[in-house]
Amino acid sequence: MIALVTGANQGLGLALVRGLCQSFPDGTIYLGARDEGRGSAAVESLRAEGLAPEPVLIDVQDDRSVREAAQLVADRHGGIDVVISNAAARISPDVPDSEQVRAFVDTNNHGAHRMIEAFGPLLNDAARFLVVASSFGTLDSLSPRLWHHFDVDHMTLRDLAQVMDDYATEVEAGRAGEAGWPSWINPPSKIGQVAAVKIAAREWDRRRGILINAVCPGLVDTEASRPWFTDWTGVLTPDEAAVDVLWLATLPAGTQGPYGELVQRRKVLPFRPEHGPDAKDS
């Protein structure tokens, strides 16, 4: 088992690496971090638990860094079995959206896109590729007048990247509300991540048994979520949340699905609401 998790020096990512190391003690599990010091500290913390992750430097905002990490895996192993694109930029309720949207989109959306492009060609037969998104990543979170931006049956990843850049421009210009975008920048970004998974799923060759999916870990107690929620009903620790994410990431070879879906607690969340756009106000 060769696996890699991005944004794994803390939060959910660290728990995912811990779980993979526990389940595959003979595997090579790469703990991806964008900062060498924070990555080493996280690796040491897991080594102190008797686990053996390998550090890898990977900044998902940087094309070259992502390509170099993929090259390292290719040189050492020739392929990979599990990739979890988990890294995400933090946003704060105290900072104007216009000041944080660009880095948010670049990390969460273009970062997932970079991971799909760099690691997609390295996936072994029956590999699993996950993008950690959220239950906000369905069209239900968006006014139907904007649904055409996420025409996942026809658009390319490049088209999607343009949609997300245009969205960031609208937020920066203070026009996003007028255009119908929601007031929180998280849902459009999560919809973009799920759309990327759906586009890659459409483009990839299913015959090799590879599964690509987006996953919602639920509400997880991390530094990223604390500023945003007051109702902590059902909140999970990172280790608790990792269980269902890792179930999806390690579905046995021969499993036919889910494929190209958003999955939460082992169930598919439909991307397009079943009642269709006509049921919503535009």
For ligand NAP, the nearest residue by Cβ is 11
Q: Which of 29, 84, 88, 122 binds ligand NAP (CB under 6 A)?
A: 88
* Contact by Cβ (8 Å): 124, 246: no
Nearer to ligand NAP, 72 or 209 (CB): 72
Residue 7 interacts with ligand NAP (CB under 6 A)?
yes
Token digits of residue 25 = 């003690």
Residue 36 interacts with ligand NAP (CB under 6 A)?
no
Residue 69 interacts with ligand NAP (CB under 6 A)?
no
Residue 89 interacts with ligand NAP (CB under 6 A)?
yes
β strands within 140-231, DSSP E: 211-216
Residue 12 interacts with ligand NAP (CB under 6 A)?
yes
Nearer to ligand NAP, 5 or 201 (CB): 5
Contacts of 200 (CB under 8 A, 6+ apart): 116, 120, 129, 157, 212, 260
Residue 134 interacts with ligand NAP (CB under 6 A)?
yes
DSSP state letter for 251? P
- Find, among 15, 11, 52, the residue nearest to 249 by Cα: 15
Smallest gap from residue 206 Cβ to ligand NAP (A) = 25
Say if strands 80-85 and 262-264 run parallel, antiparallel, or are unpaired: unpaired
Q: What angle do CA 107, 58, 119 make, to 5 degrees?
A: 85
Residue 9 interacts with ligand NAP (CB under 6 A)?
yes
Query: How far is the C-alpha of 249 from the C-alpha of 16, rounded, in Å?
Result: 10
Residue 224 interacts with ligand NAP (CB under 6 A)?
yes
Query: How far is the C-alpha of 259 from the C-alpha of 204, rounded, in Å?
Result: 11
Nearer to ligand NAP, 28 or 108 (CB): 108
* Contact by Cβ (8 Å): 136, 185: no
- Find, among 25, 133, 21, the residue nearest to 84 by Cα: 133
Smallest gap from residue 32 Cβ to ligand NAP (A) = 7
Residue numbers 40-59 binding ligand NAP by CB under 6 A: 58-59
Residues forming the site for ligand NAP (CB under 6 A): 6-7, 9-13, 34-35, 38, 58-61, 86-90, 107, 132, 134, 216-217, 219-220, 222-225
